[in-house]
């Protein structure tokens, strides 16, 4: 069959729960013994693994009918160099789409749900069976592309990191983060368990859970029943971010008033670390890909200059 393009198609996959267990216990039998010894159902691990591997194999075969395919595991994303004309397909859960998107520039990304009965897939609008039709429409530029606003953390030493859902700033372990926070002409010293900066895409995740907890606590203290509404979410392409500080502790040397706000193109968030060690900045839950944020390091968190491009 004649290919639709000579440009590369990059298929991004991830390890299953069973893959992780085998890496830990060396064999399937040992993994099964461990899981069943704890009273869990090992058959679910096997079924999930088999469906996922079958979906990946079918996706590879389908995509090869359209172009050259290179398959990579999610763990290689931080060091993988995408070509400017690559088309990228992520097959997995929603998190894999976010993990992939932050390493792209203008390349279109398709999210494929390998197991619709298991995963809801907000960012996975397509199945493997949809690929021949969707990929041909992408190549013909007949498919709608939705832009996604990203966050960027840039340090005073030149290092930077992008976030598709959110960026976390804080301690590597369960200790207090100490830093100076400044935005909109205001600043104060903080002692907290860290803070997150959320994009519109991530506003249904970590940010929503933080707001739900804060609102419920505030409602209980004021004897009012405060409902969490959808207005706490905002659009994927919204050109702003929100930050919220986790568990701020007021004391003689730390305050707790500058704990929530909006970051815009003209109003960045600045943080100066006062942690001698174990301070980190990471995004989208990938703790292994982090920036050190220790004493004297200044971080500027802003709306990123680049956008993600999701095929919908």
CATH topology for the 150-304 domain? Tumour Suppressor Smad4 (2.60.200)
- C-alpha distances out from residue 227 to 176, 230, 231, 245, Å: 30, 10, 11, 21
Neighbours of 43 (CB within 10 A): 11
By the 8 A CB rule, do 92 and 126 touch?
A: no
By the 8 A CB rule, do 193 and 177 touch?
A: yes
Q: Which of 197, 192, 202, 199 is nearest to 171 (CA)?
A: 192
Res. 222 pLDDT band, cuts 50 70 90? low
CATH topology for the 8-143 domain? Rossmann fold (3.40.50)
Res. 228 pLDDT band, cuts 50 70 90? very low
What is the sign of the dihedral through the CA atoms of 86, 92, 97 and 103?
negative
Beta bridge partners of 12: 72, 90
Q: How far is Cα 150 from Cα 199, in angstroms, rounded to an integer?
A: 6
Tens of pLDDT, residues 65-124: 999 999 999 999 989 999 999 999 999 999 899 999 999 999 999 999 999 998 888 899
pLDDT over 80 at 290, yes or no: yes
| 284's tokens | 């989208």
pLDDT at 113: 96
Q: How far is Cα 157 from Cα 220, in angstroms, rounded to an integer?
A: 44
Tens of pLDDT, residues 133-191: 999 999 999 999 999 999 999 999 999 999 999 999 999 887 889 999 999 999 999 99
Residue 110: is it exposed, middle or buried by C-beta count within 10 angstroms (0-12/13-18/19+)? buried
Query: What are the residue ranges spanned by the domains of the chain?
Result: 8-143, 150-304
| Strands (E) located in 236-297 | 241-245, 260-263, 269-273, 279-283, 290-292
Res. 233 pLDDT band, cuts 50 70 90? confident
């Amino acid at each position: 069959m004649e290919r639709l393009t000579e440009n590369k198609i990059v298929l991004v996959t991830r390890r299953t729960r069973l893959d992780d267990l085998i890496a830990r216990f060396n064999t399937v039998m040992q993994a099964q013994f461990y899981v069943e010894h704890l009273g869990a159902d090992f058959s679910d691990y096997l079924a999930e693994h088999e469906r996922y591997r079958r979906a990946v194999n079918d996706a590879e075969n389908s995509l090869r009918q359209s172009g050259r395919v290179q398959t990579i595991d999610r763990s290689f994303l931080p060091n993988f160099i995408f070509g400017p004309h690559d088309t990228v397909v992520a097959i997995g859960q929603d998190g894999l789409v976010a993990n992939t998107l932050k390493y792209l520039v203008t390349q279109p990304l398709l999210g494929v749900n390998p197991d619709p009965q298991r995963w809801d897939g907000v960012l996975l609008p397509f199945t493997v069976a949809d690929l021949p039709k969707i990929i041909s429409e992408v190549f013909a530029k007949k498919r709608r592309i939705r832009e996604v606003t990203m966050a960027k953390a840039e340090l005073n030493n030149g290092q930077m990191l992008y976030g598709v859902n959110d960026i976390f700033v804080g301690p590597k372990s369960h200790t207090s983060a100490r830093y100076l926070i400044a935005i909109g002409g205001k600043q104060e010293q903080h002692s907290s368990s860290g803070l997150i900066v959320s994009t519109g895409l991530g506003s249904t995740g970590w940010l929503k859970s933080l707001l739900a907890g804060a609102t419920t606590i505030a409602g209980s203290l004021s004897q009012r029943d405060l409902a969490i509404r959808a207005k706490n979410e905002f659009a994927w392409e919204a050109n702003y971010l929100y930050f919220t500080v986790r568990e701020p502790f007021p004391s003689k040397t730390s305050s707790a008033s500058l704990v929530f706000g909006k970051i815009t193109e003209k109003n960045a968030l600045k943080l100066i670390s006062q942690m001698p060690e174990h301070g980190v900045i990471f995004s989208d839950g990938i703790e292994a890909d982090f920036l050190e944020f220790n004493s004297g390091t200044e971080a500027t968190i802003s709306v990123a200059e680049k956008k993600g491009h999701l095929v919908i």
